[in-house]
Amino acid sequence: MDANVITNTQITKQLNEWYQVMRAQHVLKARQLKKEIDTNLYQIEENPDSFIYYSLLDFRYNMLIVI
């Protein structure tokens, strides 16, 4: 097993943390978490539920950085 592979639980945990940071409007921390999450995007795309959640959070992120 590749050392860079993370579980769906870990992905969900990262996505939830990203969501909480965005709700608190911490733009710099949200940007940092997005970069970390995007490195595992190929794994997120494999799970439809995670990918839908990621897509919603990505939209919210884009709205946050525009404001």
% of the chain at pLDDT higher than 90: 85
Whether residue 2 is predicted with pLDDT greater than 70 in this model: the reply is no
- Please say whether the structural domain 8-66 has been given the CATH code 1.10.287.3240: no
Could you tell me the pLDDT band of residue 16, with boundaries at 50, 70 and 90? very high
What predicted TM-score, i.e. pTM, was given to this entire model?
A: 0.88
> CB-based burial of residue 39 (10 Å sphere; 0-12 exposed, 13-18 middle, 19+ buried)?
exposed
> Do residues 43 and 11 make contact, with C-beta atoms less than 8 angstroms apart?
yes
> pLDDT tens digit string along 26-41?
999 999 999 999 999 9
